[in-house]
Structure 1
Amino acid sequence: MTSVGDVLSVLETAYPPAGAESWDAVGLVCGDRDEPVTRVLFCVDPDPVVVDEAFEVGAQLVVAHHPLMLRGVHGVPADHPKGALVHRLVRGGVALYTAHTNADVASPGVSDALAEALGLTVTGPLSAAPARALDVLTTYAPVAEAQRVLAALHAAGAGAVGDYRDAAWYVDGTGQFRPVDGANPAVGTLGRLERLPETRLEVVLERARRADVMAALRAAHPYEEVGFALHEIPELPGATGIGRVGELPAAEPLHVFARRVADALPATAWGVRAAGDPDRPVRRVAVCGGAGDSQLAAATRAGVDAYVTADLRHHPASEHLAAGGPALVDVAHWASEHPWCGQAAGIVRDALGGTVDTLVSTRRTDPWTVGATTRTGGR
C-alpha cells in the first residue's frame, strides 16, 4: 500500500522544503501522511474547480504549486472561501500538499519544465543560488592512528561531496613539536624536540557541521593538543536557483519564437506578447516560471537573446528595452508554471513504480477569462 507520506517523501526529495523562501508556506496543508493513496492530482492553483476535479477523478491527494494559505491565519471557518476549501478536502478524505519556491529553485524545477516545453537545452540557472557553504579541514595524526581519526571525521559528516561519501586526501610526512612546562604529551618528553611520522589529512565539510566535526576530531585524536587548519571555501554559485538559461537547436526570429512559446503553453486569455525587434534572431534564451521582472537585470547579464517570463510590468519592461536588454516574451503566470505539473507527476510516477496514478489537472485556473484587442483607427 502506498501512503500519502510515501508520495510526499518523493516530492520532498525532488523539491527539498529547505529550499523555500522564508516567507513561503510549503508542505502538507491538510491530510494524513499515513492514509493510503492510489491517485494524485497535480495543479498550479488549489482552487475550488481543482478540488471538484479531484473528487471527480477519485484523487486522495492534490499537489499544488501555489500555496492555499500563504499568509498566516487564525482559523479555517467554513464560511470563508479558503476555510470552506479545507473543510471540503478534509471531509472528502483528500490531502493537499504545496511545493512553491522550493520547486522554483530545485533542479529540475519549475523553470526547467518551462524550458523543456519550449524546446530549450538548459545550460544552467539564470540567478544561481549559492552552493553549500563548505570548509576544508587539515589535520595531522600519527601514521598508526590516522585511519581511526579519519573514520571519526567521516562519521561526523566530513568528506561528503555531492553523491560521494568518505572522501579525503592524505599523505605521510614528518611532524615535529617540543612539549614545554605544563604539557602532558601523549608522545614525547618535556623540553625535547620530537620528530614523528605523521599523516596529513584533509577533508571537506559542510560549514553547518563544523562544530560536530571539530568535536569528533578532538575526541578521536591521540594528542593532547590537536594541530589543524580550517579554511572557508569562498561562496560559489550552485546548480540550483531562480530561472534557467538554455539554447534552441537553431536561431529563429523573435516573431517565430513568440509563436513557439504560444504553441507550447496552454491557451489563456492573456496570450503571449513579445517586445523587441520582431526579426531579432533568438537562440540563447532565459526563462523564469511565474512573475519574473525581478530577474530582468540577470537576463541582461546572461547575454541571452530573449527572456520568457510572466507578469511583466510596463515601466520595468520599457526601461529594460531602452537599456539594450534582451527581447521580452510575456506569458500568463499560470501558463508559465503549468508545465511543472507534468514534471512533478513524472517524478512521482517514476519513483513509485506505477503504484499510484498521477494526473495533471485539466482545469484552467488562470484568473483572466476574456481577451480582446483594441480596434485600430478608433478614439
Structure 2
Amino acid sequence: MTTLAELVETIHGWYPPATAESWDAVGLVHGDPDVKVRKVLLAVDPTEEVAREAAEWGADLLLTHHPLFLKPVHGFAATTPKGRTLATLVKTGCALLTAHTNADQAATGVSESLALALGLGDLTPIIGLPGEPLDKIVVFAPADAAAPVRAAIADAGAGAMGDYDHCTFSSEGQGRFRPLDGADPTIGEVGEIAVVDEHRIEAVLPRRLRTKVVRAMLANHPYEEPAYDVIELADPGTSSVGTGRIGTIEPTTLADFAQLVAETLPETAHGVRVAGDPERPVTRVAVCGGAGDFLLDEMARSDVDVYLTSDLRHHRAAEFVESGGPALIDVAHWAAESTWLPVVAARLAEELGDTVEPRVSEVRTDPWTFRI
C-alpha cells in the first residue's frame, strides 16, 4: 500500500510547492507521513460538510485546492468552522493536503483542466513560467569506465529531457597526461606520459542538481583527478506551463461558446455572465481558473477573442470592455476550479493503480445557493 509520505511526494511532483505564490499556504496541513493511504477524497474547498463526507466515506486523505488556513492562526479550536473542519478530520484519522497556486500553473493543473474541459487545443500559458536554469556537464573517462560514469550522472538527474532520461552524448578520442611524484595513477606510470582511449561524455542537467551530479561522477570515476567541465547554458526562456491557458476551438460565435461553457461547467446560481457581441466570431480563447482579473491588462494586449475567468469586478470589467479588447465570460469560481478534480482523480488512479481509490467530492462548496 501507499504511505501518506509517498502520496504527498507524488502530488508534489505534479504540483511543486516551490511554484506556489509567496503568500500561499500549500502542502500537508495534517497527517502522519507513515500512515497507509487507501482512500483519497478530492474537493475544491475544505469545508465542514466536505470533512464530514470524508469521515463518513472513511477517507485517509482529503486533497483540496483551497487552503484551510491561508493566514497564520494561533489555534484551531472546534468553536469555529475551520476548527470543526480540522477536528473532524483529526478525529477520523484523515489527513489534509492542499495544492493551490502550485496547481494553478502546472500541467494538468486548474487552468489547463478548465481549458481541456471546454475542448480547447494547442494550449500555451498566458504568462509562461521562466524555464529552469540548465548546465551541461562534460567529463572524460577511459573507454572501459564510460558506461558506469554515464549511469552515475544519469541516476543523479543529468540527461532528463521531457519524457526521456539517460540522455547523453559520447565521442571517442585520446587523453594524455603524466603522473607526477606523489600520484597514484589508475592508468600509466609516474613520470611517463600516458595515452589513453577515452570517451567524452556530455549531458544536460538542471542547475539545482549540479552538486549532486558532480559528486556522483567523482564517486564513480576511476581517475584520481578526472577532467571535467560544468558549463552554464543560455537562458532557456519560458516553459510550457504558467498562468492561465490560451487555446483554439472550432470557429463559433460568442453566444454559442457561452452556451458550451454553460453546458460543460456545473450549474450554479452565478450562471454564465457574458460581455460582448453575441455574434462575435470566436476561435482563440483564454481561460484562467479562479479569480483572474489580474490578467485583464495582459488580455487587452492579446489577440484572443474571449477571456473566461471568475470574480470579475464591475469597474475593471467595464473599463476592459470599453477598451475594445476580447469579450469576457465570468463564471462561478467553484465551477471553474471543479474541472480539475476529476483530472487529479484519474491521474492518481493511473499512477497508483488499485492501491489507492480516489473519489471526487459530491459536496457543492460554491457559497451562492440560489438566485432570484
Bin of the TM-score, shorter chain as denominator length: 0.7 to 0.9
Indicate the residue corresponding to 1:68 in structure 2.
Answer: 68
**Matched letter for residue 235 of structure 2:** P
AA matched with 2:367:
P
| Alignment map for 1:356-371 (pairs within 5 Å) | 356-371=356-371
Q: Is the 8 A contact 2:174 2:197 kept in 1?
A: yes
> What secondary structure, in the 3-state scheme, does the structure 1 residue paired with 2:262 have?
helix
Instruction: Tell me if structure 2 keeps the 8 A contact 1:184–1:224.
Output: no
Deviation of 1:230 after TM superposition, in Å, equals: 1.1
Amino acid at match of 1:21: E
Specify the code of the residue in structure 1 equivalent to 2:63: V
Q: Is the 8 A contact 1:111 1:288 kept in 2?
A: yes
Q: Who is 1:377 aligned against?
A: none
Contact 1:7–1:348 (Cα < 8 Å) also in 2:
no
Work out the CA distance in 2 between the residues paired with 1:330 and 1:44: 18
Deviations 1:222-258 (A, max 9, x none): 375835361323132222222222222x211112211
Structure 1 equivalent of residue 282 of structure 2: 282
Moved more, 165-174 or 108-117: 165-174
In structure 1, the partner of 2:99 is 99
* Residue of structure 2 equivalent to 1:163: 163
Q: Distance in 1 between matches of 2:184 and 2:278?
A: 78
What does 1:58-207 correspond to in 2, within 5 Å?
58-141=58-141, 146-147=146-147, 149-173=149-173, 198-207=198-207
Deviation at 1:290, TM superposition (A): 0.5
Show CA shifts across 1:107-132 (max 9, x none).
11111221232222252322222233
In structure 2, distance between residues paired with 1:246 and 1:116? 9
SS in 2 for 1:256: helix
**Preserved contact between residue 139 and residue 226 of structure 2 (Cα < 8 Å):** no
Three-state SS of the structure 1 residue aligned to 2:308 is strand
Letter in 2 for 1:305: D
Task: Give the direction of change, closer, same or farther, for the CA distance of 1:276–1:156 in structure 2 (3 Å limit).
Answer: same
1:231 paired to 2:232: yes
> 1:236, 1:47 → 2: CA distance?
40
Q: Counterpart of 1:202 in 2: which secondary structure?
A: strand
Corresponding letter in the other structure for 1:365: T
| Alpha-carbon distance between aligned partners in 2 of 1:357 and 1:79, rounded to the nearest angstrom | 32
Q: What amino acid maps onto 1:333 in structure 2?
A: H
Q: 1:58 deviation in Å?
A: 4.3
TM-score (ref. length: structure 2): 0.84
Instruction: Judge which range, 226-235 or 128-137, deviates more.
Output: 226-235
TM-aligned CA deviation for residue 135 of structure 1: 0.9
Q: Is the 8 A contact 1:140 1:228 kept in 2?
A: no
SS in 1 for 2:211: helix
**Residues 131 and 235 in structure 2, CA contact (< 8 A), matched pair in contact too:** no
Pairwise CA distance, 1:66? 0.4
Displacement of 1:369 in angstroms is 3.2
Residue 243 of structure 2 is matched in structure 1 by: 242
Per-residue CA distance 1:79-109 (angstroms, 9 max, x = gap): 2332222112212333322221222122111
Residue 203 of structure 2 aligns to a residue whose secondary structure is: strand
Q: TM-score, normalised by structure 1?
A: 0.82
Kindly indicate whether the alpha-carbon contact (under 8 Å) linking 1:114 and 1:340 is maintained by their aligned counterparts in 2: yes
Q: Which moved more, 1:107-116 or 1:20-29?
A: 20-29
Structure 1 partner of 2:17: 17
Give 1:362 deviation, angstroms: 2.6
Deviations 1:270-325 (A, max 9, x none): 22111222211112211111111222344455532111111122343334334443
CA contact (8 A) 1:258 1:329 kept: yes
RMSD: 3.4
What is the SS of the residue equivalent to 1:353?
A: helix
1:265 aligns with 2:265: yes
4+ residue runs over 6 A deviation: 181-190, 192-196
Assess if the C-alpha contact under 8 Å between 1:112 and 1:122 holds in 2.
Answer: no
CA-to-partner distance for each residue in 1:332-358, whole Å, 9 max, x for gaps? 111110111222222223334345543
Change (3 A) 1:254 1:215: same
The count of corresponding residues between Structure 1 and Structure 2 is 369
SS of equivalent to 2:102: helix
Q: Contact conserved, 1:158 with 1:166, CA < 8 A, in 2?
A: yes
Of stretches 66-75 and 168-177 in structure 1, the one that deviates more from structure 2 is: 168-177
Alignment partner of 1:32 is 2:61 = no
2:338 corresponds in structure 1 to: 338
Q: Which residue of 2 aligns with 1:376?
A: none
Please identify, of 45-54 and 220-229, the stretch whose mean Cα deviation from structure 2 is larger.
220-229
In structure 2, what is the equivalent of residue 53 of structure 1? 53
1:150–1:201 contact (8 Å) kept in structure 2: yes
Output the amino acid matched with 2:242: G
Comparing 296-305 and 130-139, the one that deviates more = 296-305
Sequence identity, in percent?
46
